[in-house]
């Protein structure tokens, strides 16, 4: 079940592969994170990159969250979901001229600037348009996030942000420009972080710099500590609770007196989604190992192929009998198209429905048409009811750009 709706019935009606989200869980998680930080002035800017389906983003807005966009496309998602420009922060390591013009002329709450060169470009565009751009400076604190190297962003070896010393020099030299307003400092040290230290150290790097700047007469409006809070993909995986996260960050931010911005993505949406998939074939190897071949693959959920990520996989209606040792693999012509390696499942037959857990973040949004596979549909469950919020792509949809 998802809430009070039967996953089997939804899959029967809409087909598979299918992403299903729980509206109640999405809303409860935004509320829980907001409550954890209630003791201090803050704004949650939902990281649209985690799941940009409009219906999901609209739920975030309905719960009072604001938005964090990572591209021009995500700015448009945020606007269509109903966010005002002054509720959107814009991050991105390689913003194009067109994206910057759009962000500046819209008057976003903050453009998180990644380099001195980008600050100069923002200044020039703002001057040309006779306006003043609000910028926050992204600091790279050289912190090991302790997560997978592909989703660690806060070490000096990573492409993101500037050293605290560079950021300091830049803010000091640019604080008096007519067309730039330095409103904040930004940090994001990585994603799927499961211990307090990296998050605390990231926040401390920008809090320390803000206090130094204040003594020099540069007064900011906010500190943006990014996202990154991890979830337990494995049942026994130790993670931080929302309260422990707040307990790590608030004591370092509080002395600055500055408003806190958070950019959570995964923690809110991942556990609110499952990917439903049907078994299309079973192949038993001589040594008894079974390949359970399903109709969802790396085109519907890239994380296992991209990061070796682990997702729980369960039979929606488990059959009785001895469990089988298996690899759950997709239909795509790549060996990395494996959703789960060395798993145990109850006996399965062709046509059975499986649920891949915690796929509400970095799931549907990372889909591709590789092997010319149309993208899966998405459903939002609300109590006993549900509706399709993104229809299944057709072959015609997929081929319409070929000229």
Shortest CA distance to 389 belongs to which of 30, 72, 57, 45? 57
Cβ-contact 213, 173 below 8 angstroms: no
What 3-state class would DSSP assign to 111? Answer: strand
In the complex, what is the shortest distance from the CB of residue 108 to ligand PLP, in angstroms, rounded to a whole number? 14
Burial class (CB in 10 A: 0-12, 13-18, 19+), 241: exposed
- CA 79/CA 107 separation, integer angstroms: 12
Structure tokens at 131: 């306006």
Contact residues: ligand PLP, CB under 6 A: 47, 49-50, 68, 91, 188, 191, 226-229, 263-267, 361
Cβ-contact 72, 93 below 8 angstroms: no
**Residue 132 appears among annotated catalytic residues:** no
Torsion of CA 342, 347, 352, 353, to 10 degrees: -50
Contacts of 250 by beta carbon, 8 Å cutoff, 6+ apart? 37, 39, 40, 260
In the complex, what is the shortest distance from the CB of residue 45 to ligand PLP, in angstroms, rounded to a whole number? 8
- CA 90/CA 135 separation, integer angstroms: 9
To the nearest 10 degrees (0 to 180), the angle between helices 23-36 and 54-62 is 40
* H or E stretch at 203: helix 196-215
In terms of phi and psi (left: phi > 0; alpha: psi -120 to 50; beta: otherwise), the region of 337 is: beta
Helices marked H in 145-195: 164-174
Torsion of CA 251, 252, 258, 261, to 10 degrees: -90
Nearer Cβ to ligand PLP (62/239): 239
Cβ-contact 316, 355 below 8 angstroms: yes
Which residues are designated catalytic?
333
């Amino acid at each position: 079940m998802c809430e009070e709706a039967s996953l089997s019935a939804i899959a029967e009606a809409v087909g598979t592969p299918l992403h299903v989200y729980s509206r109640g869980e999405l809303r409860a998680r935004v509320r829980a994170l907001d409550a954890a930080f209630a003791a201090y002035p803050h704004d949650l800017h939902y990281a649209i990159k985690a799941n940009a389906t409009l219906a999901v983003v609209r739920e975030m807005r309905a719960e009072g969250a604001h938005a964090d966009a990572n591209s021009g496309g995500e700015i448009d998602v945020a606007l269509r979901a109903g966010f005002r420009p002054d509720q959107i922060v814009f991050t991105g390591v390689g913003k194009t001229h067109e994206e910057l013009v759009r962000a500046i002329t819209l008057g976003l709450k903050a453009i998180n600037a990644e380099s001195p060169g980008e600050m100069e470009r923002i200044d020039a565009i703002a001057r040309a348009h006779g306006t003043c751009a609000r910028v926050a400076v992204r600091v790279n604190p050289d912190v090991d996030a302790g997560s997978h190297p592909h989703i660690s962003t806060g070490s000096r070896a990573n492409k993101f942000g500037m050293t605290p010393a560079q950021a300091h020099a830049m803010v000091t030299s640019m604080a008096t420009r007519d067309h730039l307003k330095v409103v904040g400092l930004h940090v994001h040290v990585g994603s799927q972080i499961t211990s307090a230290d990296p998050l605390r150290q990231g926040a401390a790097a920008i809090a320390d710099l803000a206090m130094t700047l204040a003594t020099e007469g540069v007064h900011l409006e906010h500190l943006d500590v990014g996202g990154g809070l991890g979830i337990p993909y494995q049942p026994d995986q130790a993670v931080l609770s929302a309260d422990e996260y707040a307990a790590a960050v608030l004591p370092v931010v509080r002395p600055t007196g500055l408003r806190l911005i958070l950019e959570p993505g995964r923690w809110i949406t991942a556990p609110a989604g499952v990917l439903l998939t049907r078994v299309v074939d079973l192949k038993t190897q001589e040594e008894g190992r079974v390949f359970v071949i399903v109709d969802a693959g790396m085109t519907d959920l890239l994380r296992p192929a991209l990061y070796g990520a682990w997702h729980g996989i369960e039979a929606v209606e488990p059959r009785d009998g001895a469990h089988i040792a298996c690899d759950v693999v997709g239909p795509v012509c790549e060996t990395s198209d494996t959703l789960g390696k060395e798993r145990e499942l109850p006996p399965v037959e062709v046509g059975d429905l499986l649920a891949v857990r915690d796929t509400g973040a970095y799931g549907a949004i990372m889909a591709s048409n590789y092997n010319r596979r149309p993208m899966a549909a998405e459903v939002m469950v609300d109590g006993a009811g549900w509706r399709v919020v993104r229809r299944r792509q057709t072959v015609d949809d997929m081929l319409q750009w070929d000229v």
